[in-house]
Amino acid sequence: MSNENMMSLCQRYTNYPVKVSLANGEEFESVIEYVDQENLHVLYPVDQSEYPMQITQLEGFQSMNENEAHRYGYGYPPYGYGGFRPYGWRRWVLPLTALAAIALL
């Protein structure tokens, strides 16, 4: 996928929880914070030991497919994190060239 196509896809999913697949085979769950011409900026939850957590493992998380996302419009995802909150959120900047795929959770 070209950088322009990947950038467009990332912009479409801004503020939504996604599964990111990297070109080297790694996968992780995060929330897209924003995207620029060269990089994807994401947030991911960490536990008290600063170990990354999976968003889908957070209590109260509800998966949302693309059709549901469009029904509510961007910026208002109908998902929650219930009573459990991760210890914190960390930012990570990924070059668009390192991305292989992105999918809504």
Torsions phi, psi for 97 (to 5 deg): -65, -20
Give residue limits of the domains in the chain. Answer: 3-104
The overall average pLDDT reported for the chain is 79
Nearest-angstrom CA–CA distance, 92 and 28? 11
pTM (two decimals): 0.72
Nearest-angstrom CA–CA distance, 14 and 4? 15
For residue 86, what pLDDT band results from cuts at 50, 70 and 90? low
In CATH terms, 3-104 corresponds, of 1.10.1040.10, 2.30.30.100, 2.20.28.120, 3.20.20.450, to: 2.30.30.100
Q: For the chain, what percent of residues have pLDDT higher than 90?
A: 47
Sign of the torsion formed by the C-alpha atoms of 78, 82, 88 and 92: negative
Nearest-angstrom CA–CA distance, 61 and 78? 10
